[in-house]
Amino acid sequence: MPEIAMGALSQNGTVLLARRSSMRKVHPDRWSLPGGHIEEGEDAETAMCPELMEEIGVMPELWQFAGRFGSEDSPETSVTFHVYHVDKWRGRPRLIGDEHTEFRWFTAAEIEKEAELALPQLTEMLANLAMRETGTPA
């Protein structure tokens, strides 16, 4: 079963989401976290750092495991997602290549009401991360 490592960058009560390109086969034009496939012999945490550098040009410096979940697809196409909360990084997020068309910092309320997430399982996890940043009870 394929596995994906993702980084949730947060600052000032917001979480950075990336809009997937309309050319993507899976979840085009939906908001998601930057990240990528975990290669054979890699663990999720090790994979997350180079994937964020490759996709958005930042190198995580301080992070913690936020959660893991499986996709809601059929068993033969299901994927396991590993999410890391990144609260310190080097570099400035920028668009690289054609995987994403834009970035946006979302508050907890915006995540719950506005963001058309590629993975609905992210909604509560990301809203909680954003609220933790502001000290608002999750």
pLDDT tens readout for residues 50-80: 999 999 999 999 999 999 998 866 666 688 9
Kindly report the number of other CB atoms within 10 A of residue 74's CB atom: 7
Write down the pLDDT at residue 67: 94
Task: Decide: residue 32, CB within 10 A, 0-12 exposed, 13-18 middle, 19+ buried.
Answer: buried
Q: Which two tokens stand for residue 83?
A: 């999410």
Instruction: Give the residues of the chain that fall short of pLDDT 50.
Output: 136-138
What per-residue confidence (pLDDT) applies to 112? 87
